[in-house]
Structure 1
Amino acid sequence: MDDLIRTEQLTVTYPGAPAPRLRQVSIAVGQDERVLLLGPSGAGKSTLLRTLAGVVPQTVEAQVTGQLQVCAADPRSTPVPQLAAQVATLTQDPADQLCLPTVAEEVAFALENRAAPAEEIGQRVAAALQAVGAGHLAGRRTSELSGGEGQRVALAAALVARPRLLLLDEPTALLDPAGARSIGTLLAGLPGSSLLIEHRLDELGTLPERCVLFDGAGTVLVDGPSREVLTWPEVAGTGTWLPATAELTRVLGRPVSGAQVGGALAELAERSPRPNPRPPGPVLLTAGETEVRRGERTVLTGVDLELRAGQITAVLGANGSGKSSLLLGLAGLLPATGISGRARAGMVFQNPEHQFLARSVAEEIGYGLPAGSSVEPVLARYGLAGFADADPFRLSGGQQRRLSLAAMTVMDDEVLLADEPTFGQDRRTAAGIGAELARLADEGRAVVLVSHDLRLVAALADQVLLLAGGRPVAAGSVDQVLVPDVLARAGLHLPPLLAAWPGPLGAARGVLALLEHEAAPAQVAA
C-alpha cells in the first residue's frame, strides 16, 4: 500500500527563529489512515500541516530540509493549487480561509475550479453544509459569521471536493460542545486519510486509532496506537490535553475507567478544600436591556448584566448566539444601547492578529507599559520568554493568543473582555491563562470571558450568562447555570468530567483547582 504522506528527517526553520520549529520528523501515513497529532503549544504541529500543504515554504518563508512526499509529489515545489486537487486544509483560524461574499459561494469555489456541472455543485454544496451543521447558513454573508459558524463553513469547503487527504488544525476549537461532538462523529466516518490536531479529546468522542506526540522542541516523542500513547507516563509532562480517565489515572496513580470518574472526583474532593469566593466590588459597567447591532441587523437584545470589580463573568452559548457581539458592544466596538459606567474596558479579540500593531513581541507588549519598563517579566508570565524579537505574525496560534492577552492585561484597564482566551492552548498553557485571569480578578478588575470550555468556566466564574438566539435564557451562579436542564435551553451540555461530578458544580472548584495546579502550578508555561 502506497503512503500518502512520507517524511524523513523533516526539519523546518523560520527566518530569524532561534531554533527549528520541527526537528528531524520522520512519519508515514497510508491510505485511509487517520492520525491524531498531539503536543504542547508551539511544538510545530501546525507547521507540519502547512508544510505538507505546500504553504511552507511556498507562501510562508522557511528553510525546509529532509525528504518530503505528499500524494506522490514534493509540496516544496509542486504548485499549491495542484496539491489542493487532492489535499484539503482547515487552518486554525477560519478567517484565513473565507474570502468569498456568501457561504454558498465559498463552499462551491473548489467545485467550480474543477469545472463540476452546475446541478452537481448545488447538490454537493448543500450536502457538505448539512453534514457540518451549517445548512441554515447557505445564504449568509461570510463576513457576518461568528467564529464557530465560520469554522463549520470552512470545514464544509474542505470536504466538498472529497479530497484524498485532510489536514485539520483544531477543527472544533471555536465550536460549542455539542458541535464539537457532532464534528468528531462526522470526521470519524469520512473516507480517505487525515491528520488531525485537536485539544478537546473528551468532547471529540471517537479518536483516530494512531497518535503522534511531539515535544516542545518539535521532535516526535512517540508514534503509536492512541490508546497506548494517551496512557504513556511521560505524556502529561508535555502539557498535552488528556481524556478525563487518563488525567485522573495520572493524578491518583491508579487506572480510572469511565464508570469510575465520579468516584475518583469524589475522592479528590476530600483532599481539595473549596476556595473562598471572591467578594464582589463596586459596579464598573452595567448593561440594562442592552441591544447590540451589526449593521442593520439586531444580533443581541434584552441583556441585563452588572460587571463588578473583582468578579469573573462567563458568557456561554452555542455558535452564533451573540457572545462575541456582547463583548464588542461592551467595548464600544459595536453599536449598543443601555450600557452605562465610566470604567475603561480592554478587549482581547477572538482572532489575536486583529489587535497586533507591532513587528516584534517586545514592542507589542511595550505599547501598554510605562516608559522604561522591562517586558521580560511579562514575557515570562505568559510563556513567551525568548520571543522578544519574534514577529507576532510568525508565532504559533497558541503563542499569538498568549501575546494578545499579555498586551491587553498590561494596559491596566478596569474591565477585561476576553473572547475565547484559551483558544489554541495546550493543557499547561490553558491552566496558566486561567490562573492569570483569576489573578486579575483578585487585583480588582472585572473580567468577562466568552468560552466554550465549561471546565474553565466552572473553575473561575462568579456569575454566568447563558445566551441562545441572541437573547439571555439564564443567568446566575455556576451552580444555577451549569446544570443539564438549563444548558439544554441553549443546546449545550456538560463535558464528561463535569457531567460525572456528584453534586452542584460550585463545589467542584477545589478539585478543578487541584487539576489546574498539576498542569501549571506557577505561570503560563511555554
Structure 2
Amino acid sequence: MLVAEELEVVLPGGDGVGPLTANVAPGEHVLVLGPSGCGKTTLLRTLAGAVPQHVRARVTGSVLVAGTDPVTAGVAAVSEHVGTVAQDPVSGVCLPLVADEVALPLENRAVPPERIGPAVDGALAAAGAAHLRERASGELSGGELQRVALAAATVTDPPLLLLDEPTSMLDAPGVASVRDAVARVGPRVAVVLVEHRLDEWAGEAGSAGLPARTIALARSGRVLADGPTAAVLATHGRELLRQGCWLPLDAELEALLGLPGGLASDAVRGALRALGREAEPDRVARTVGEVVLRARGLAVAAGGRTVLAGVDLDLRAGELVAVVGANGAGKSTLLAALAGLEPPVAGRLDGPRPGLVFQDPEHQLVAATVREEVGFGLAAGEARVTDLLTRFDLLDWADRSPYALSGGQKRRLSLAAMLAHDRPALLADEPGYGLDRTATTTAMRALRAAADGGLTVALTSHDLRAVAAWADRVVVLADGGVAADLTPEQLVRDPAALRAAGMSVPPLVAFLAEHDLPVRGTLAVLESLASDVAVAA
C-alpha cells in the first residue's frame, strides 16, 4: 500500500523529515511517534500529495501510495486511494452542512444517489457524530469538527487512512468513538496514525492497545526506530521521553522508574506509593486575590443559537481555573465571551478585557517573523521577547515566518505572544492541543507561574491529568450552563461531574486517588523525574 525508499522532505527553513525507507502493507496499522516539530505532519502531507505541490519543499528519494507517486501526481490523483484527517479539522471541512460534507467524497466518485444517504449515516455513526448530521459545520466546536472530518475521510472506505492527531480536541467519548471507528475499518485498510494522546488512544490495554508497529522519529526528523511497538517503547522509551514525547503509561513509568509492568506490577505500585508519601499534599484551597472577572446571568449565542445561559462565574487573581465539558458544551464560546469577542445576549460581565490564546493559533498571527509576533504591540522589551522565545523553545526559529512552524510550535508561539503583554487576566483555549510532553509541560508551567504571580488564568482542556496537575479549580459546563464548580481532587472522585464533563479518569490519576495519595504532588514528582531524564541525557 505504501512504499518509501530514502524519502526525505526538507522545508524551505531547513526542517524536515527522513530519510525514511519503509513499506506499509494492506491492513497494517502504523503509529508515527515523535516530538513536536519533527516532521510528522509533513510526512503525512507528502503521502497525501500536498507536498511539494501545495506546500513548498525539496523532496528526494521515492514514494508510492497504492502504486501512485503522490509527489508528482498531487492531491487529486492520490485522493482516490487516501482518506485524510488533518491536524486542524477546520482546514478539511469545506461545505456549510455536515451531511453535505460527508457526502462530497461519494459524489466525487459518482456513487449512485440512493447509496449516498445510508453511507453518510453509517460513517457519521461510526465517528460518534450521528447527532451532528443536520448541523451547520460553521457552528461546530473543534472536537465536533474532528468527528465530521473522520466521517468524511472514511465514508469511501479508502485503502489508506492518514490520521494526524485525530483525537486532539475530543472528549473521552469522542476518543473512544474515533478509536473504535479506526479499529473497525476494513481488514485491508492501512492506517498511518500520528497521535500525542497515546494513553487515551490505547485505553485500558496500555501499550498493547496501540498500533502493532511504530515508526519513531527524533527531533531532527530522522528515523530513530521502526519495529514492533512494544519493542520500540522498551528499547527507546527513555530516549523518546527525553526527546519530549508522550508515552503510554506503562512505557512512561518504565522510563521514569526503571520498572516494567505498569500499574499491574506490584513493584511499580509500591514505587508510586513511596513517591506519593514524599510528595507535597494537594492544596484543597488556596489563598487567592480579589475577583478580576465576574459574570452574572451570562448568556452567549453562537451560530444563531444560545449555547450558554445563566452563567455565574467569578475568576480571581492568583487562580488557575480549568473550564471543562463535552465537545459542543460551549467552552470556547465562554472564553470568547469573557474576552469580549462574543457579545452576551443577556447578563452582565465586569472586569478588564483579558488576553485570549485561540484554539487555532493561526487565527491570531499578525507579524512577519516569530520574534516580531512575540513582541507585537510592545513599546520595548527585547530582553523579555528573547526570554519568552527561549522558554518556549522558539529561539532557533525567531527569524522565520510564524506560518512556517509546525502546529505545536505555533501553539507555543501564541502562548508566548500573549504572555508578553502581562494582562491582568489570561484565557487559553486548549493550550495543550497539538503539543508533545515537553511543550505541554512548558505551556502549563508558564500558565501556572502567571497565576502564581497574581494573574487570573482560565483555560479549557479535555486532559484530566493536566487539569489535576495544574489547576486550582474546575468549572464544568453541561446542558447549557455551569453544572459544577469544584476542585480537581473533588472532580476525580465525582462520577456525576465526570460524566457531565465528558471526561474519564486516567489510570494513573485513578490509582493515586484510590490510594489517597496527593494527585497534584505525585504528578509533580513524576514531571521532575522526566526533567531529570532530559537533563541527564
TM-score (norm 2): 0.93
Residue 106 (1) aligns with residue 104 (2): no
Call closer, same or farther: CA 1:123–1:61 in 2, change over 3 Å: same
Residue of 260, 274, 278 corresponding to 1:271: 278
8 Å Cα contact 1:37/1:212 also seen in 2: yes
Are 2:8 and 1:11 aligned?
yes
1:296 alignment counterpart: 304
> Is the 8 Å Cα contact of residues 239 and 519 (structure 1) preserved in structure 2?
no
Match of 2:57 among 53, 56, 62: 62
Equivalent residue number for residue 201 of structure 1: 198
1:352 aligns with 2:361: yes
Query: Closer, same or farther in 2 for the Cα pair 1:365/1:490, shift >3 Å?
Result: closer
CA RMSD of aligned residues (A): 1.9
Structure 1 distance, partners of 2:244, 2:526, is 12
Query: CA-to-partner distance for each residue in 1:482-521, whole Å, 9 max, x for gaps?
Result: 3233212344221222122244889211111122233347
Could you say if the C-alpha distance between residues 119 and 505 of structure 1 is closer, same or farther in structure 2, counting changes exceeding 3 Å?
farther
For residues 368 and 105 of structure 1, the distance between their equivalents in structure 2, rounded to whole angstroms, comes to 42
Among 516, 523, 526, which residue is 2:527 paired with?
Answer: 516
Q: How far, CA to CA, are the matches of 2:529 and 2:86 in structure 1? A: 30
Residue identity matched to 1:461: A
What is the DSSP-based 3-state SS (H/G/I as helix, E as strand, rest coil) of the residue aligned with 1:501?
helix
* 1:228-252 Cα shifts (integer Å, max 9, x gaps): 2122242322211111122122222
Tell me which residue corresponds to 1:411. 421
Q: Distance in 1 between matches of 2:312 and 2:351?
A: 17
Deviation at 1:481, TM superposition (A): 2.1
List alignment gaps of at least 5 residues for structure 2. 203-208
User: Deviations along 1:447-469, whole A, 9 cap, x unmatched?
Assistant: 10100011110011111111113
Residue aligning to 1:255: 260
Matches of 1:372 and 1:271 in 2, distance apart?
A: 41
- Where does structure 1 lack aligned partners over 5 or more consecutive residues? none
1:300 aligned partner, one-letter code: L
SS, match of residue 500 in structure 1: helix
> Could you say which residue in structure 1 is the equivalent of 2:240?
235
Instruction: Determine the structure 1 residue equivalent to 2:66.
Output: 71
Please say if 1:49 is aligned against 2:54: no
* Cα distance per residue 1:354-379 (max 9 Å; x no partner): 10112211111111433252432211
Kindly provide the amino acid, as one letter, of the partner of residue 354 in structure 2: A
Q: Secondary structure, in 3 states, of the residue corresponding to 1:11?
A: strand
Give distance in 1, aligned partners of 2:414 and 2:516.
30
| Counterpart residue identity of residue 201, structure 1 | L
Secondary structure of 2:63's aligned partner: strand
Q: Give the counterpart of 2:295 among 268, 287, 290.
A: 287
Match of 1:217 in 2: 220
**Aligned partner of 2:336 among 328, 331, 340:** 328
For the Cα contact (< 8 Å) 1:365–1:406, is it kept in 2? yes
Contact 1:435–1:523 under 8 Å retained in 2: no
The 3-state SS of whatever aligns with 2:38 is coil
CA contact (8 A) 2:9 2:59 kept: yes
| 1:399 matched residue in structure 2 | 409
Alpha carbons 2:325, 2:500 under 8 Å: kept: no
Structure 1 Cα separation of the partners of residues 156 and 393 of structure 2: 39
User: Which amino acid letter does the alignment assign opposite residue 234 of structure 1?
Assistant: E
Identity of aligned residues (%): 49
Measured against aligned partners, the alpha-carbon deviations of 1:379-419 in whole angstroms (never above 9, x if no partner) come to: 11111121011111121110010011111111111111100
Deviations 1:217-238 (A, max 9, x none): 0000011111121222423222
Q: Is the 8 A contact 1:318 1:468 kept in 2?
A: yes
Distance 1:67 1:297 in 2: 50
Query: Does residue 442 of the first structure (1) align with residue 485 of the second (2)?
Result: no
Q: What does residue 441 of structure 2 align with?
A: 431
Any conservation in 2 of the 1:278–1:442 contact (CA below 8 Å)?
Answer: no
- Structure 1's 258 and 189: CA in aligned 2 closer, same or farther, altered over 3 A? farther
Cα deviation 1:313-348 (Å, max 9, x = unaligned): 001111001111110110111122434333230111
Choose 31-40 or 503-512, whichever is displaced more: 503-512
1:281–1:308 CA contact under 8 A, matched in 2: yes
Asked if 1:181 corresponds to 2:176, the answer is: yes
- Hey, what's the Cα distance between the residues in 1 that align with 2:96 and 2:42? 29
Q: Give the corresponding residue for 1:317.
A: 325
| Cα displacement (A) at 1:14 | 1.6
Greater mean deviation of Cα atoms: 407-416 or 250-259: 250-259
User: Which runs of structure 2 are paired with 1:410-489 in the superposition (5 Å)?
Assistant: 410-483=420-493, 484-489=495-500
**Paired residue total:** 519
Q: Is the 8 A contact 2:245 2:436 kept in 1?
A: yes
Residue pair 2:279, 2:518 contacting (<8 A) in 1 also: no
Distance 2:196 2:312 in 1: 33
TM-superposed CA distance for 1:116, in Å, is: 0.6
The residue type equivalent to 1:344 in the other structure is R
CA distance in 2, matches of 1:339, 1:413: 21
Amino acid at match of 2:191: S
Partners of 2:351 and 2:171 in 1: CA distance: 33
| Partner secondary structure for residue 493 of structure 1 | coil
CA distance in 1 between partners of 2:352 and 2:532 (Å): 32
- The alpha-carbon distance between structure 1 residues 412 and 502, as it changes in their structure 2 partners (threshold 3 A), is closer
Deviation at 1:275, TM superposition (A): 6.3
Given that 1:173 and 1:423 are in contact with CA atoms closer than 8 Å, whether structure 2 keeps it comes out as yes
What CA deviation, in whole Å up to 9, does each residue of 1:60-105 have, x standing for no partner?
A: 1111111221111111111311110111111101000111010001
1:265 positional shift: 2.9
